Amino acid sequence: MKEFAQNLLAENRTASYDLTIIVPVYNEEDNMAALEEKLSAFLPKAKCPACVLFVNDGSKDNSLEGIRTICGRNEHFYYVNFRKNAGLSAAIKAGFDVAQSKYVGYIDADLQTAPDDFNLLLDYIEDNKLVMGIRAARKDSAFKRLQSKIANSFRRMMTHDGATDTGCPLKVLHTDYAKRIPFFTGMHRFLPALILLQDGGCYKEIAVRHFPRTAGVSKYNLWNRLLGPFKDCFAYRWMKHRYINYDINENNI
């Protein structure tokens, strides 16, 4: 992963935009047409110049073919492809590492949140290092909502981040702060806490729309929605006391 990011540190086309929207993709071939439609409709309406960066997480279906087709016929659409599946946190972190725009956004490929709602978050990004959605009128099953409620309560107790809904897949961050986030599996659940670790780190939550999944299959189950995050909280607590902040105020490089 580190070598992958280093190979793309040279000037890339995302540097021409203010916002790079990262879309992790894993076995979402049935959602590719909707992603193209919704994202291409949003870009002209975005409150700042924006592009889309698909991160194909080693999909085993035809998602990569769909991504290549979309990027080939749409301006402002780009992609990177993993050799093999590495997980959602790795896909998000790769997007952070690759993007060279001022801001980075993140949305799930299942489109249970609306790209248009990025504009709600962008209204507050100048004054906050992270602006994240809260799923209003969430359209998941009662069992899924219960699992998330338990996981969020435990995470808040362990991290003291005060965040309401870290599982909401709609976020915008300052890219320089996103690039300093330490990588570990489950990282995507701790973005508010990891932003707060950094000097000057602050975040804001905004209510956004939520929709039922209409295509594809959820990648979440009891383990990765509830039990996995419990374990990850202890990893965060260990790392929190060892996190390094520094500020260079002079050099002669």
Helix (H, G, I), strand (E, B) or coil at 1: coil
* Cα–Cα dist 217/27, whole Å: 8
- Tokens 């990765």 correspond to 224
Q: Cβ distance 19 to 48 under 8 Å?
A: yes
What was the pLDDT predicted at 166? 80
pLDDT tens, position by position, 170-202: 999 999 999 998 877 777 888 998 999 899 999
Half-sphere exposure of 220 (CA within 13 A, CB side): 18
Position 203 confidence tier, pLDDT thresholds 50, 70, 90: very high
CATH architecture classification, 2-140+167-216? Alpha-Beta Complex (3.90)
Half-sphere exposure of 105 (CA within 13 A, CB side): 30
Q: Other CB atoms closer than 10 Å to residue 107's CB: what's the count?
A: 26
Would you list the domain boundaries of the chain? 2-140+167-216
What was the pLDDT predicted at 157? 59
pLDDT tens, position by position, 225-239: 556 667 777 777 767
* Cα–Cα dist 40/151, whole Å: 34
129 pLDDT higher than 90: yes
Pairing of strands 170-174, 130-135: antiparallel
Q: Other CB atoms closer than 10 Å to residue 101's CB: what's the count?
A: 22
pLDDT tens, position by position, 48-74: 999 999 999 999 999 999 999 999 999
241 pLDDT higher than 80: no
6 pLDDT higher than 60: no
What was the pLDDT predicted at 9? 52
Radius of gyration of the chain from its Cα atoms, rounded to whole angstroms: 17
What was the pLDDT predicted at 108? 95
Q: Cβ distance 14 to 52 under 8 Å?
A: no
